[in-house]
Amino acid sequence: MAIFRIIASRPQQIKDFSDHPEFDIELISGKLKEGDRFQLFETHHPCNYTILNIKEKDNHHTLVVKESISWENKWADAVVDTENNEVSRRYGYRV
């Protein structure tokens, strides 16, 4: 259970099973672990993500996720609360 802000995101770079999309995040509170799930919204459609791996960097964490990201920096600046999905709903992409 954690609250974090997405700094950047990167889609899968090569089309094979060894490469996965990534989110760079700033952890605000709590802890994340492999297998944790979180939800973001595209317009009003939920997008669920499962954390495969967490890479700790000097000033941020990188979450390697199982599911796809459509484009670079999608959801940048979104705040995610793994306990309360409504927090990230307001950052949904609006068309």
CATH number at residue 71: 2.40.30
- Residues 86 and 38 sit within 8 Å (Cβ to Cβ): no
Distance, CA of 74 to CA of 31 (rounded, Å):
23
Specify whether the CB–CB gap between 83 and 32 falls below 8 A.
no
- State the total domains in the chain: 1
95 lies in some domain = no
User: How far is it, in rounded angstroms, from Cα 29 to Cα 91?
Assistant: 19
Write the pLDDT tens digit of every residue in 22-77. 999 999 999 999 999 999 888 778 889 999 999 998 899 999 999 988 889 988 99
User: Residue 18 pLDDT > 80, yes or no?
Assistant: no
Q: What is the mean pLDDT of residues 1-6?
A: 92
Query: Which DSSP symbol is given to 33?
Result: -
Report yes or no on 65 lying in a domain. Answer: yes
When pLDDT is averaged across residues 17-26 and rounded to a whole number, the result is 87
Domain that holds residue 6: 2-89
The answer to whether 79 and 91 have CB atoms below 8 angstroms apart is yes
Q: What is the pLDDT of residue 93?
A: 45
- HSE, side-chain direction, 13 A CA sphere, residue 33: 1
Please check whether residue 43 lies inside any domain of the structure: yes
Rg (CA), the chain: 12
pLDDT: is 15 or 65 the higher one?
Answer: 65
